[in-house]
C-alpha cells in the first residue's frame, strides 16, 4: 500500500460528495484531504509503519 493510493481514494470520496460548506461530511473530507496532502512525508511514514504491521493485508489480497 502506498500513501498516494490512500490519498487518491480520499480525494475520490471527497469529489463524490457535492460541495456544500454547510455539510459536515463534505467539510470533513475536504479538510482531512488538505491536511494529509500538506503532511505527505509524515503520512508516508505512517502508511509504511502500518504496512509492516499488516494493516493493509486484506486490501492487498483483494486486489
pTM, two decimals, is 0.88
> Residues 11, 40: contact at Cβ < 8 Å?
no
The three cell numbers of residue 41 are 512525508
Per-residue model confidence as pLDDT tens digits over 8-55: 999 999 999 999 999 999 999 999 999 999 999 999 999 999 999 999
How far apart CA 41 and CA 16 sit, in angstroms, is 26
Where are the domains positioned within the chain? 3-62
Alpha-carbon dihedral 52, 35, 8, 30, rounded to 10 degrees? 140
Amino acid at each position: 500500500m502506498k500513501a498516494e493510493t490512500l490519498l487518491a481514494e480520499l480525494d475520490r470520496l471527497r469529489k463524490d460528495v457535492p460541495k456544500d460548506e454547510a455539510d459536515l461530511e463534505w467539510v470533513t473530507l475536504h479538510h482531512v484531504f488538505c491536511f494529509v496532502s500538506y503532511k505527505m512525508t509524515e503520512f508516508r511514514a505512517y502508511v509504511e509503519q502500518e504496512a509492516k504491521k499488516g494493516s493493509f493485508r486484506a486490501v492487498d489480497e483483494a486486489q
